[in-house]
Every structure is written in structure tokens, then in C-alpha cells.
Amino acid sequence: MTKSHDEEQPAMTSLSRRKVLATGAAGAVVAALPATAMAAVRRMELLDDFDAIGLARLVTTRQVSAAELLDLAVARVEETNPRFNFMAHKFYDRAKQAIAAGLPDGPFRGVPWLLKDLNTNLEGTPAGEGSRYYAGNISQFTSELVRRHQQAGLVIFGKTTSPEFGLTATTESAATGITRNPWDPERIAGGSSGGSGAAVAAGVLPMAHATDGGGSIRIPASCCGLFGMKPSRGRVPMGPGLTEGWGGLSVHHAVTRSVRDSALLLDMTHGIEPGSRYSAPTPDGTFLSYLRKHPGQLRVALALSPPAGTPVDPECVAAARDAARLLQSLGHKVEEAAPKVDVAALGAANFALLSTAMVARIDARAKETGIAPSPDVLEPVPLMFYNIGKQTDGAAVARAHETFQRAAYAVGVFMEDYDIIVSPTLATPPPPVGRLGLSPADFTAWGEEVSAFTPFTGLFNVTGQPSMSLPLALSAKGLPIGVQMTGRYGAEATLFSLAAQVEQAQPWWKSMTAPVRRQS
């Protein structure tokens, strides 16, 4: 059997290798399309019928141009954004200029792309951080990750909404308003990458940039019926300047419709950057190549109860149980088990780390602008974190990191017996808007409600393990329910191989199409 290019050259890590990764995978999509059929397909349907690899292949074969795809994405934004409010900033003219100047010959050449408006910079464009405090802030440089996005051929035409500083599980902010779920506008799209989740669910584009500091890729993936992979700590660059977020809790990647888009995007973006103090292990071959490899018989722990013991909606439990049965039918060994961690200690550690991180960030902004932090520029929860952080000493931060290390060790020992942990992604289907925002009447009740909604995700930001949400179920009300699958540190390849197997066994492309796209 002849090996594909990405299987033959696993040692290559240069851009030249990255440019050719998509050729074989995308070709199968377009090759199956009769020549006469392409002319009959309405252009707008391209955004619904093809993933990013498929769209790039259409550009490569000149069946559609990058300018046409951009026009389609812009038209879909203008059609759907008034209903769902997922755009923080629009760079339409800049995107047209990038196309006219000539795009790099990367595997996603010509595919429209949106950045999340949080800790991500494109020189000369707004960087609002979901906050009124950053009104008028313009990036003075381009992030290394964004540079890699551009090298991949992606066409950046805007930024998506985020809650202020990414501090909650919904995307609602005083700066940009409420982002709504295309499955039900009265429900949240998740957070803090809810703008990206809503944009993909609305059919604007097949994938969008997202970040995850406590579940913020997996939460909107679950809420919006998408695939969301949180990579291992140190896998994807975050600089220049600062090469980790929230003490290593936060990572960058994307929400996507297909598994292969996520894998190829990670192939294009992973690897150390100048100043990296650590890096996740380099895989043996490309992530995309693992989609064609059988994962082997995996040992699966089914964890249905959150570490804190909070209640889980029966529909979410049922979704995880169904996924476990599917894995058993695919030959994997499943048993109910879960790692044990000190939830109270982790909660205190997270609070110490986030509150002091808010002090550093807000004080830096105050120095830049001369504007003191106050309710006029900050929402109540970030201001609460800031005020508490001012009273938190350095020893508390040191103890927080020690707590994280103990939890990582406990989970690492647990995973000597298991390859994968399966759980619900969230404790309920997406709740109504207005409950998890950053302006609550009662801070304690707000914290308890956010934690009860997201009890499964944050642990794996602490441990640094890769974790993905797969769109495998719908609630009785027709709302998406995600199932979380988590691997050992550095084992994204195993997760991608498993995800591809599940995607083939239970395809979600059509069943997880938001009503707005079925109606358009």
C-alpha cells in the first residue's frame, strides 16, 4: 500500500510539510462530487455542505475562489449575526486585501476564519477582550498563533465575542451584549468561546478559533453541537511575550464541525515558539494521519458523577452512557471509575490564581490608560476578582500551584489504568441566557451555578491533559448535548484516532445541524 505524504515524512516539522497535509483527505470529498453537480450547487450551500478541508480543496481545484468564499461568509454573518450576536469586530476590507495580495499556499488556503476576541492579536485591529475597559485598544503585534493561522492560508475577517476576560461559561458582556445559541436564541451558546461556537453553528464557517481556560472550547462545543478539542498544555503557542495563560490553565485551538479539520489545524499550529518554557510531546506523525489509524483496544473509565458530587441532568448522563456503549461496540473496554481529587482545595486554588491574574491584567490596563478600575469600565465579577486579588498574598499563589500539581499527580496515577475518561461535557443542556453572566445579584450563588453547570471540564485544565467534546446527543427539547473524552497528557493523537472512529460509527454532520441553518 502506498503511504500518503503525511505518513511518509513524520519527522518533518517545517511549513513545507504543513502545506501538503490536507491534499489526500480533502480530495476524497471533492472527487466524489460529479463535475456537473458542482455547477448546480448554490454557492451559499458550500458553507453547509463542506468542512474547511473540503472548502480549501475547492479553492485549490478552482471550483470556487477565496473571494467568493469570503463573500459567502460575510453574507451569512450579515444574515445571522443580528439574531445571535457573535461578532465582536469585522475586518472585511482587510480580508479582501489579504486575498488580493496573494494567500500563502497552506492547506486551508482561502477558507474564512474568525479569531476569538480574547488574548489573541492581529496587528492593527481591535483587541477588546470582551471588556469596556479595552474599548479602543488596538493590537500592536500579531500573535504567533495567528501568524500560523495566516501561513495555513486562512482568511481572517473578524473576531468573535467573549465574556469579559473569559471569566464565565456564557458569552454575555456589557461590552458586546448577549451571544445567543443558533439552536435556540433563548439559550446560551456557552463560554467563553461562545461567539465562535455560535458562528460555526450558524453556518458562517466550518471552524473558528477558540480558547479554553476551564472548559471554554468544550462548553460551547457542547452547547452548539460541535466538535471541540482542548489540546495539552504547551501544545499551541500563546505569545509573543506571555507564553502561558492563567498559570498554564488556558490553551488555544478551535471549535469545528469535523474531526479532520481540528486535526489538520493542530498540525498547522502546534510546536514551540520563542520563549516557550515547556512544550507538549511531539507526536509520531501528523495528527491528521491518526484519523486513519485504529486506536486499538482502549481502556475507558466512565465517570458519571462530578468530582464535587453535584447533580447531573439525566439526559446528560444518558448521553455519556450511550457513548460508552458505542465504545464497547467498537471493541473498547469500559468500566465506571473516576479519579479522586480534593475539590475544595482546587476551588480555592483556582480562586487565588484567577483573582491575582485579574490584578496583574487590570493594573497593567490602568497604567496604559490612566483610567482606574471601577464599575464604569468593569463588570461586577471581574471587579470582585480584582478586589480580592489585591488582598491575596504570593504564598497563596504558590500553594495554588502545589494544589494543581497534587491533582495532576492523582489523575496521572489514575490514568495508568485507563487510556480515556468518558463523562458528560456539561451537567445540563444549554440553559437560558441571563443566568451565568458577570453581573449577578449574588456572587456566591453565581459561582455555585457556574460550577454546577461545568463540573467536568476544569479539572483537565489543571492537569493539562487533552480533552474533547463530541456532539453525540440531543435533548428532548432538541438541544445539543456533548460527551467529553479525555486522554493522557500529550495524547491528542489517541483522542483524534478515537474521535474519527466515533465520527464514522455515529456521524453527526447532518443530525447536529442547527435549526437556523436548516431554515436558511
β-strand partners of 507: none
Give the cell for residue 353.
Answer: 490564581
Query: From the candidates 116, 232, 258, 467, which is the catalytic residue?
Result: 116
DSSP state of 371: P
CA 311 to chain CA centroid, Å, is 25
- In sequence order, the β-bridge partners of residue 188 are 180
Q: How far apart are CA 256 and CA 230, in angstroms?
A: 12
Active site residue 497: no
Q: How many residues does the chain have?
A: 520
Interhelix angle 144-151/259-269, rounded to 10 degrees, is 120
- What phi and psi, each to the nearest 5 degrees, are found at residue 258? -115, 155
Distance CA 395, CA 401 (A): 10
Tell me the C-alpha distance between 484 and 198, whole Å. Answer: 19
216 classed as catalytic: yes
Where residue 254 falls (left for φ over 0; alpha for ψ -120 to 50; beta otherwise) is beta
Grid coordinates standing for 25? 483527505
Active site annotation includes 159: no
Report in angstroms the alpha-carbon separations of 517 from 76, 300, 357.
10, 35, 39
Give all strands of the β-sheet with 420-424 in edge-to-edge order: 207-212, 251-256, 227-230, 467-474, 480-487, 420-424, 299-302, 333-336
Q: In this structure, is the dihedral angle defined by the CA atoms of residues 273, 490, 54 and 160, taken in order, positive or negative?
A: negative
Dihedrals φ, ψ of 459, to 5°? -55, -35
What is the distance between the alpha carbons of residues 96 and 74, in angstroms, rounded to a whole number?
Answer: 11
Q: In this structure, how many other beta carbons lie within 10 angstroms of the beta carbon of residue 124? A: 12
Residue 322 CB burial class (10 angstroms; 0-12, 13-18, ≥19) = middle
List the catalytic residue out of 131, 143, 193, 216: 216
Cα–Cα distance for residue pair 478/476, rounded to 1 Å: 5
Among 173, 192, 222, 497, the active-site one is 192
Question: Which residues make Cβ contacts (< 8 Å) with residue 362, sequence separation at least 6?
Answer: 133, 373, 378, 382, 386
The upper half-sphere exposure of residue 343, i.e. CA atoms within 13 Å in the direction of its Cβ, equals 15
Contact present, 474 and 315 (Cβ < 8 Å) = no
Mind telling me the catalytic residues? 116, 192, 216
